[in-house]
Structure 1
Amino acid sequence: MAVINRTTDSFYESASTAEEAIDAVAAAAQEGAHIVDIGGVRAGRGREISVAEEIDRVCPVIEAVAHSHPTMLISVDTWRHEVAEAACAAGAGLLNDTWAGVDPELASVAAKNDVGIVCSHTGGLSPRTDAHRNRYGLTAGEVVGRTLAGVIGLAEAALDAGVTAEKIIIDPTPDFGKNTYQSLRLLRELQTFTETRFRVLLAISRKDFVGEAIGDVEPSQRLHGTIAATALAVAKGAAMIRTHDVRATADALAVTLAITGDAVPKHTVRGLR
């Protein structure tokens, strides 16, 4: 899943115009992306973006991508049901709700439009806020159980709204409402999530827990650490990886799956001729 930030202030990469976002999708497709996740609002703090402005940012891009890449699954990164509805009309097939069901109508939009939905966990955070001294009461020891209960609760609510099980994805959501120890614990025990009936998405690309595991490292220096976490997550059963770095991630997935035996090498002539 390639990250396409139709923003001006995202923490790592932004596409400030629709044309830049469309070009970024084309590049991601060429590098091996199967899904593009188009978002119009920075996850962290920043200028208020209205519903209308968010729709204006993402929907023209979604419509253009649906036309130019008809086999690409288009995800929209939003917590607002109004944006989700407009995105579905434009051609989105997945709603990536990174704010843990703060808008309960989102699942109904997914059901009505027969699209998928990502159920995430934020430890009680409101949209676009940051965890401060981990006031949400999660310790490293209990974070796995609390996170699992949160995403399964949202998945069951989506089922009740009419979304089919195969279109429900769960995301433990490292960094959101969690400190580095807690995010690392989630990856260490990722099989707790992959052994459920739902597929697991991991959005770990260049995140703070990766930087802090290495040291005091800025997002631009977190690729190698991200790839290490990605390989571990895939080996533990993650079904989708959200990434800023499609080619590097695709290569890591190919090697990891070849080692685990879940895929065959793509070119095998060494020692055979």
Structure 2
Amino acid sequence: MQLMPLPQRIWQCGQLQLDLSRPHVMGILNVTPDSFSDGGQHNSKDAAVAHALAMMAEGATVIDIGGESTRPGAAAVSVEEELQRVVPVVEALAQYPVAISIDTSEPKVMQAAVAAGAHIWNDVRALTRPQALQTAAALNIPVIIMHMRGEPTTMNNLDQYTDVTQDVMRELSERVQDALDAGVKPEHIMIDPGFGFAKNAKQNLQLLNELYQLNQLGYPMLSALSRKRFIGAALGGAEAQQRAIGSVAGHLLSVQQGACMVRAHDVKATADALKVWQAMQGGV
């Protein structure tokens, strides 16, 4: 592991500015019945908004709203269902001073979410759906491009790598280049190595240990390993709800290697750990 500085970059999110030279916590808001850790807990509008406000109070500067579970083996969700889950929550949160990210791969969902007040497109499928690249360019908003192979139903069978870190870097570079070729602005791109997606536990741990190498690609980085299965494996088989401390450790290691944003279920614990790290850097 090698310590790396955070990027000197500002992300404009509507009227808000995210200074990426300081670490940000992206709070996870799954408005789904079947997400792996918190499915069904926040899948009404009122419950979702209340949880988002609680995460903001705990230190989240970004709220990531997802209307489709992407856990291994998750069933597909129609565009209409995803819209019904996501858009009312965006409309309710748009009045608050927080950056709103949408965890979706569907261009129609993203278009509707931006119209309702969303700011960031977080796509686990790296803009591979039809018209996704063109839509990202037309919306002219920040986009997060994540590494994955296949789909949630098939990804666990696609973890064959020569060198997981180098292969992830190469495949991410290809997706980033496709986005640039489609007209997405380079200053709008953030990359995500895709912990837990088409990677086994050993590969995830290697990727975390070598995360600093992804800085060579030249883009800000999101680390999203919260409560993932490989964290549980490292803890001797801990279930999702018992992976908070391990997740905080993984996210802190990610920020030390240059990740400027971490996607977390346990917002306060994560934000507190990052405050201590910032204090060590003279940031308080």
Could you tell me the TM-score, scaled by structure 1's length? 0.89
- Residue type at the aligned position of 1:233: S
The answer to whether the 8 Å contact 1:107/1:117 transfers is no
Contact 1:211-1:219 within 8 A present in 2 as well: yes
Shift of 1:8: 1.2
1:166-188 alpha-carbon deviations (Å, 9 max, x no partner): 21000001110000111111111
Show CA shifts across 1:52-83 (max 9, x none): 0101100110111112x1x3111000111111
How many residues align? The count is 256
Identify unmatched segments of 5+ residues in structure 2: 1-25
Q: Is the 8 A contact 1:84 1:106 kept in 2?
A: no
Q: Is the 8 A contact 2:169 2:217 kept in 1?
A: no
Q: Distance in 1 between matches of 2:202 and 2:99?
A: 33
Letter in 1 for 2:223: L
1:138 alignment partner in structure 2: 161
Describe how 1:178-217 pairs up with structure 2 within 5 A.
178-217=199-238
Instruction: Among all aligned residue pairs of Structure 1 and Structure 2, give the percentage whose two residues are the same amino acid.
Output: 39
- What is residue 110 of structure 1 aligned with on the other side? 136
Task: Give, in angstroms, the shift of residue 262 of structure 1.
Answer: 5.7
Q: 1:129 aligns with which of 147, 150, 153?
A: 153
**Following TM superposition, by how much is the alpha carbon of 1:258 offset from its aligned partner in structure 2, in angstroms?**
2.2
In the superposition, the TM-score normalised over structure 2's length comes to 0.86
- Runs of 5+ in structure 1 lacking a partner? 265-273
The CA distance in 2 between the partners of 1:256 and 1:136, in whole Å, is 33
Q: What SS does the corresponding residue of 1:195 show, helix, strand or coil?
A: helix
Q: Deviations over 1:99-150 (max 9, x none)?
A: 233315223222212111111111x222x32544x444225xx111110112
**Which residue, 68, 91, 107 being the options, matches 1:41?**
68
RMSD: 1.5
Which stretch of structure 1 is more off in the superposition, 43-52 or 206-215?
43-52
Secondary structure, counterpart of 1:147 in structure 2? helix
Corresponding residue for residue 195 of structure 2? 174
Report if the CA contact (8 A) 1:4-1:15 is conserved: yes
Paired with 1:136 and 1:215, the residues of 2 have a C-alpha distance of 22
Matched, 1:90 2:90: no
Between 154-163 and 211-220, report the one with greater CA deviation: 154-163
Structure with more relative contact order (C-alpha pairs < 8 Å, separation 6 or more)? 2
Larger-Rg structure: 1
Q: Which residue of 1 aligns with 2:34?
A: 9
Paired residue type of 2:127? G
